[in-house]
Structures are given as structure tokens and as C-alpha cells.
A and B are shown apart, each in its own frame.
Chain A
Amino acid sequence: MGIIDNINKLFDHRIRLGIMSVLSVNDDADFTRLRELLDVTDGNLASHIKALENAEYINVEKSFIDRKPNTRYSVTKLGKMEFIKHIEALEKLIISPTTKSSKN
């Protein structure tokens, strides 16, 4: 076991992984920006954001710009930590597939 424990099930999806990737290198991003970068539909993106928000991996901040609602997302400390753990686990798995399979 060990490495495989750090693979986070919540990040095991292309869109959620994408959201975390974008937010981990940017202070924040709004909904349209995420939608453009990830090339997904509104509903799809919203549901994945909700999942990450529920896990307290991302922060949601609602405000108004020119009287239009604007929602900005940023990664929480917990989210960042979990994401780093996840990436490290991925890298280890790729580097040492043999040790992994022998452990299973």
C-alpha cells in the first residue's frame, strides 16, 4: 500500500483534475475562465466545482462586477495540500510501476 493511498479519488476525473490544476497556479479564476480553459459545459463544470467545494478543496467568492454577478474560485490550503499529494503519488506510480504491482 502506501503510494496508492495518496491517490485522491476526488481528483480521479479529468475536469476536477483540470480545475485543481488551473487554481493551483493562479490566485483565482472565475467561472467563464475555467469553462474556456477546460472546454466544458456550464452544468458539467458547476457540478464538479460543487464536488470540490463540498470537500473544502476550493473557495467560492461571489461578487458583482458592473452589476453582473461574478463568481471567483480559489484553492484552499487543504485543497493545495491534497493536490500536491495526489501529483506526487501519480509521479511515483509512473516511475515505479513494478514496485507498485509487486505490492498488490
Chain B
Amino acid sequence: MLLLCTSKYFIMQNEKYLNDISEIKILMNRSSKFISLSGLSGIFAGIYAIVGALIAYFLLFPKEDEILYLHSWNFNLLILLLAAVALLSVCTAYLLTSRKAKANNEKIWDPTTKRLLFNFLIPLVTGGIYILIKLQSEHYGLSAALMLIFYGLALVNASKYTIGNVKYLGFVEIILGLTCAAFPGFGFYFWVFGFGVMHIIYGSIMYKNEIAKKH
């Protein structure tokens, strides 16, 4: 009888310890990592990128015997298009993520988001400024490669502050960027693959996991 009581006591104790451990893990994650990144926003970003690239390809790219000049009309429109794709992606990500944060009972603007954004923006802004400087001296050739590389670095840097495997998307973008730099002339296709196709693939994987978690 005594033996039965003690073993029951230990099973209860064991359950309490298990609870403790899972509570520790949950709090560590929730306090240091942003968990509400939405996979859908990745899919949308990919679609915007592909639509943007198609518009550029058919309407804005110089014909075979033309050269793209700095500050020509199609150059300016190209930059505008790029900015529009980026802005649309950010807005969609913001909307979908804040919706998900609300569902998770989280504030969207808490220390984890600030940390995530800050660390994401360091490589991204550095790369952006660098590309703009190079554009001023008509060095367009490596723009696609540089965008991919710095975006990948931004993802890897930010991945420490969110759950999921954003890190791997970052590695893929970096590798794509470096490969792109090695094959000049194919920047457009690498760009479409990195920002369009990869976002859709990655976003779908994330989205699938989100749904699996819900059920």
C-alpha cells in the first residue's frame, strides 16, 4: 500500500516537472521570438514579385538594340515598380501578421517584433543603399545578385528572432545571389526565382504547417 502511494506520488511529481519544463520552453520562446509570421504573406510576396517581373519584362525592358540609361523613363518606372512590389509585400505581411498575432493573443508591436525588424533591416538597408550608390554610376549588372545576397543575409540575421526556418530561405537566397553574380546576364531569371518562386514555395510550406498546427 505504501509502495502504491509513493509511486503514485512520484507519477504526480513527474507530471508537475513535465509541466514545468514545457512552461519554461513556451515562455522562453514567446518572450524572445516572434511567432506570428504568416506564411500566406510569403506566398503573396512571391506573386507580387512575379507579376512585377512580368510587367517589367514585357513593358519596360529595353529592346535588343537599346541600352537602359540612368534616369530614362523606363529606368525610373522600373525603380518605381520595384518599390511598389516591395511596398505591397510589406503591407500584406503587416496585415496578415497582425491578424495572426491577434489570433495568437499577441501584440504585434512588442520587443520581439522590434528586435526581429531591427536585425532584419541592418543587412537589408545596407544592401539597398549600396545598390543605389552603384546605380548612380550605372552599375546595374549586379543589382539582382546584390538584392538576393543582402536579402538572404537579412533573413539569416533575423531568423534568430522568430520561429520557423526562415534561416534556410535566407541560405537559398544567398546561394542564388552568389550564383547569379557568377553568371552575368541572367540576373532577371535569378531574381524571379529568388523573390518569386522561392517565396511561394517557402510561404506554402509555412502555411501548410500553420494549418496542420491548427487541426
Contact = CB atoms under 8 A, between A and B. Distances in A.
Contacts, number: 53
A18 B18 CA distance: 14
Interface majority SS (helix, strand, loop, mixed), chain B: helix
A19 B188 CA distance: 50
Interface string A2-15: 00000000000010
B208 interface: no
B23 A17 contact: yes
Nearest to A34: B31
**Among B6, B14, B17, B24, residue most surrounded by chain A Cβ atoms (within 10 Å):** B24
B4 interface: no
Contact of A22 (B6, B13, B17, B27): B27
Contact of B30 (A37, A94, A101, A104): A37
A90 interface: yes
B49 to A, nearest CB: 34
Interface residues of B, number: 20
B10 A22 contact: no
B21 A90 contact: yes
A71 interface: no
B21 A26 contact: no
Contact of B28 (A25, A29, A90, A104): A25
B30 A17 contact: no
Interface of B: 6-7, 10-11, 13-14, 17-18, 20-21, 23-24, 27-28, 30-32, 107, 110-111
Given A87-B21, A93-B17, 8 more contacts: A17-B20, A18-B23, A21-B23, A33-B110, A37-B31, A93-B14, A97-B10, A101-B7
